[in-house]
Amino acid sequence: MRPGAPLREGYAAAAREFGDRPGTARILALRGGGALRLARSSEVPAEPGTVLGVHLAVEVPDGGAVELAETVLVTASGAEPLAKTPLRLVELY
Q: Which tens digits make up the pLDDT trace of 38-93? A: 888 888 888 898 899 888 888 888 888 888 888 999 999 988 989 888 766 666 55
In angstroms, the first-to-last Cα distance of the chain is 32
CB 72 within 8 A of CB 52: yes
pLDDT at 14 > cutoff 80: yes
Q: Please tell me the predicted confidence (pLDDT) of residue 82.
A: 92
Alpha helices in 1-93, H assignment, sequence order: 9-18
Q: What pLDDT, on the 0 to 100 scale, is given for residue 76?
A: 92
Q: What share of the chain is helix, strand, coil (3-state, %, to 5)?
A: 10, 40, 45
Compute the average pLDDT of residues 3-21: 86
How much is the pTM?
Answer: 0.75
> Whose CA is closest to 44, among 24, 14, 74?
74
Average pLDDT over residues 20-48: 85
Model pLDDT, residue 91: 61
Quick one: which H or E segment has residue 15?
A: helix 9-18
